[in-house]
Structure 1
Amino acid sequence: MRPFSASLPMALLLAREATMRRFRPSLAQHGLTEQQWRVLRALASADQPIEVSVLAERTALLAPSVTRIVARLADDGMIRRDTVVGDARRSTLALTTRGRRLVTRIAPQSEATYAEIEAAFGADRLAALLDELDDLTVMLDAVDDAREAS
């Protein structure tokens, strides 16, 4: 077995924790959990309303967790849920005006945190890291898809 210090899952978790320590104070200031923020960010970046299953995939959250988070954010007036025409079992989700305003209020703090990270780590290095992580995700997903197909 490779050394613990060379564990990819642990390295990713440690980097995530170091990163989120910088974002959490801003989220807490607005009464949001990390998971709620992920849902709001995903909906803010969507071109159109999206289904819960798509939202779960985009936010790396389990569908039951997304359902609970969405219910809370809908109760708070941040998210609108609409039934899919022709299939009452499915619904799409979108930000309300109130939800968009909240994302807009948090955005400058989020960008300031990104600026801090870029200043310390380097903008080019951060961009390259994000590209590499995206490549890793795409490749591992393709391997999983190939396994499932065989």
Structure 2
Amino acid sequence: MGPIRNMLADAGVTEQQWRVLRVLMEEGPLDPTSIAERAVLLLPSLTRILQKLEEKGLVTRTRDDNDRRRQVITVTEAGHALIAQNMPASQRQMARLREELGDEKYQGLLALLDDLNQLDL
């Protein structure tokens, strides 16, 4: 994780903030509960993360048109730009990890992480 942490530090975001941005980029606008589930974060932690991302201008919060109690979080243009600028470095790190582990171990790791994510702990 060292090289990834360095890349994120240079980008001015934490690992958790990066995960939230990636989830929103991949899934589109979501409510906080859905983000917490997909990013594997506790909702109270996500609340603080979203506040920081909003302060940095990387996400916006709006009220759902159908349920005014529900918030919808969306990545801003600045958030899209941050992901686009740093995605090549992230992908290089993942390719390096895959190369060092080998395809079988890499796929096994992803499967185990997915299994872990599916557990209702």
The number of equivalent residue pairs is 121
Give the 5 Å matches for 1:62-77.
62-77=42-57
| Counterpart for residue 41 of structure 1 | 22
Q: RMSD of the TM alignment (CA)?
A: 1.7
TM-score (structure 2 length as normaliser): 0.89
SS of equivalent residue, structure 2 residue 13 = coil
Q: 1:136: Cα distance to partner?
A: 4.7
What 5-or-longer segments of structure 2 have no aligned partner? none
CA distance in 2, matches of 1:131, 1:44: 22
| Counterpart for residue 89 of structure 2 | 109
TM-score (structure 1 length as normaliser): 0.73
Instruction: Report whether the alignment pairs 1:25 with 2:6.
Output: yes
Contact in 1 for aligned 2:40/2:117 (Cα 8 Å): no
Q: Structure 1, residues 77-115: CA drift from partner, whole Å, max 9, x if none?
A: 110211012433220111111101100111000011111
| Counterpart for residue 73 of structure 2 | 93
Which 4+ stretches in 1 moved above 3 angstroms?
A: 135-138
Q: 1:25: Cα distance to partner?
A: 0.6
| Higher Cα Rg, which structure | 1
Instruction: Report whether the alignment pairs 1:83 with 2:83.
Output: no
Identity %: 39
CA distance in 2, matches of 1:26, 1:136: 26
RCO greater where, 1 or 2, for CA within 8 Å and sep 6 or more? 2
